[in-house]
A and B are shown apart, each in its own frame.
Chain A
């Protein structure tokens, strides 16, 4: 009772011991059981596992200290998967956001009709799962019955064997991830554009600024907090790409599309299980993602200025 935390609602703090709190705890208990057992406990457990190696025969765990980490950091296989993750990030984030902003600017144009139709067509990937995204694009990339190479042939281009060539497989996965993320990105960008103060455009128009000028000098600068948010979210999503890879390429050909997440899956769940190594990689990736998320939380404060 002595160590009360300052809060705006201080006046209503309980004065008669624990009893009033018990009712609140009753409302909270289901949520917190799940959060503790399946979110907070696993964080510690994940770290503990990353310091272990499971003996090849039997289930005996051996403590190996940071050996899993040091081995990974000095193995070229590990850095290959990091490279693939970075490639996906570089490939998906700028293109995904760039396309989304262009489309959002078009959608914000005051059309009298058909707005609903365009929105429906453009937003729809938002409800498509990574598995279905993978299946749909696996058809499009198919060299025999697929459509991409047929369309390319119409303009005289001999399309690649998308999923069986190392470089093109990376491109193929990137396109699929960008597509599936596009609906979300457009929705966020459009909301950001519609939040921009109308008077800025009016003033610019009075000053004789053309469409392109207004986009460059008003829309994009005013949109920068939204773009920052999109960048963070898209970086995290690109680092976590899994379903599309699992269905399109299974990490191949070779290990061309095996990113960090995929390697964690392979080490932890496919064939011989290397739980310790998988956990160590997962832990490193997670620390990176949490760092990026915290960056986002901190940026929230700066974004308030615009609202």
Chain B
């Protein structure tokens, strides 16, 4: 049940696939098909990127829209950044995402370790509660959570944005699975050496689990950064909006002015952190998703 048993590595994996017979000539149609499909899928993002550098007069002034601008400009970014407190939105998102990710990773490691290494009363029942919470959809929780957070006076605060998400059942499950795959002898040896659990967890287990921990960190970061419904309902003060909510209101305001260059600049600002993560950690991300799919 470890994630590392699934490799989607393009080089080694590709070598051993034989759905089709191998000849260089036969590769050509596949290349063409994949290039076409790949470009079609990435097109909305590519267009947004180019349009964010296109002057307004070029966007509205042409009969035939062209993807690549004739002249390049940074004006859209200046406008997006200054028209609304975009800097503030991005800062809010980084705080919200940072707190959620750090807490989810830390608490998941702790709980995963407890489920993997300790024997204790009610272990099975508690583990069922963790797994069971995975199938509870947000529709069932967001209204009571909204009322609770509002009653606590946490609407429009970082606490309101983050506290309901400080733990992750998925993270606990993932960490437990990984810790259980590590050899138990290590633990017994450490016990004989007199190392306590806390020390063993951070000095031995955590470094050995770097792959699993970073895969979950990426997951956690992406889902926190991309949250929409919760930040939409729990903030109505402009200064507390996250980037995702900011772009929605920016769109509504700028669309009347048909200032699509500025809107796309805003969109690029909002998605750039996730695109960077995607480029840098694509393999881990893909592996994590593939493992979650194959193993439920």
Interface pair B289/A188, CB less than 8 Å apart: yes
Of the candidate stretches A69-77, A86-94, A117-125, A164-172, the one touching chain B is A117-125
A179 at the interface (CB under 8 A from B): yes
B274 at the interface (CB under 8 A from A): yes
A126 at the interface (CB under 8 A from B): yes
B14 at the interface (CB under 8 A from A): yes
User: Separation in Å of the A220 CB from the closest CB of chain B?
Assistant: 12
Chain B residues whose CB sits within 8 angstroms of the CB of A258 once the complex forms: none
Interface string of B236-272 (1 = CB under 8 A from A): 0000000011011001000100101001101100110
Interface pair A246/B41, CB less than 8 Å apart: no
Interface pair B65/A132, CB less than 8 Å apart: no
With known contacts A27-B113, A32-B126, A126-B285, A192–B293 Cβ distance under 8 A: yes
Chain B residues whose CB sits within 8 angstroms of the CB of A45 once the complex forms: 144, 147
Interface size on A, residues (CB 8 A): 122
Would you list which residues of chain B between 115 and 138 have a CB under 8 Å from chain A? 115, 118-126, 129-130, 133-138
Chain B residues whose CB sits within 8 angstroms of the CB of A7 once the complex forms: 123-124
- Which of B10, B144, B251, B264 has the largest count of A CB atoms less than 10 A from its CB? B144
How many Å lie between the Cα of A116 and that of B13 in the bound state?
A: 12
Q: Which of B19, B129, B232, B233 contacts A201 (CB 8 A)?
A: B19
Interface string of A22-36 (1 = CB under 8 A from B): 011101101111110
Chain B residues whose CB sits within 8 angstroms of the CB of A9 once the complex forms: 119
B210 at the interface (CB under 8 A from A): no
- Which of A129, A179, A261 has the largest count of B CB atoms less than 10 A from its CB? A129
With known contacts A42-B141, A121-B41, A130–B260 Cβ distance under 8 A: no
User: Separation in Å of the A51 CB from the closest CB of chain B?
Assistant: 13
A68 at the interface (CB under 8 A from B): no
- Which of B64, B120, B172 has the largest count of A CB atoms less than 10 A from its CB? B120
Would you list which residues of chain B between 99 and 123 have a CB under 8 Å from chain A? 103, 107-108, 110-111, 113-115, 118-123
How many Å lie between the Cα of A42 and that of B134 in the bound state?
A: 14
Interface pair A39/B277, CB less than 8 Å apart: no
A207 at the interface (CB under 8 A from B): no
Q: Which of B19, B42, B51 contacts A124 (CB 8 A)?
A: B42
A158 at the interface (CB under 8 A from B): no
Say what secondary structure dominates the interface of chain A. helix
Nearest A residue to B111, CB-CB = A31
Chain B residues whose CB sits within 8 angstroms of the CB of A294 once the complex forms: 135
Q: Which of A12, A112, A118, A193 contacts B38 (CB 8 A)?
A: A118
A64 at the interface (CB under 8 A from B): no
A97 at the interface (CB under 8 A from B): no
User: Separation in Å of the A299 CB from the closest CB of chain B?
Assistant: 8
How many Å lie between the Cα of A74 and that of B278 in the bound state?
A: 47
A161 at the interface (CB under 8 A from B): no
How many Å lie between the Cα of A43 and that of B142 in the bound state?
A: 10
Q: A30-B107, A38-B141, A246-B232 are in contact. List 12 more A-B contacts (CB 8 A).
A: A32-B111, A32-B129, A42-B141, A43-B136, A111-B31, A127-B226, A131-B245, A131-B270, A144-B258, A215-B19, A282-B140, A286-B136
Q: Which residues of A contact B (CB under 8 A)?
A: 5, 7, 9, 12-14, 18, 20-21, 23-25, 27-28, 30-35, 37-43, 45-46, 49, 103, 105-112, 114-140, 142, 144-147, 150, 179, 182-184, 187-188, 190-195, 198, 201-202, 205, 211, 214-215, 219, 226, 229-230, 236, 240, 242-243, 246-247, 261, 264-265, 268-269, 275, 278-279, 282-283, 285-286, 289-290, 293-294, 296-297, 300, 303, 307
Can you list 19 contacts pairing A with B, beta carbon distance less than 8 Å?
A23-B118, A28-B111, A31-B167, A38-B141, A49-B144, A110-B14, A118-B38, A120-B38, A120-B282, A123-B278, A124-B45, A132-B247, A139-B48, A140-B47, A144-B60, A150-B65, A246-B228, A264-B139, A293-B134
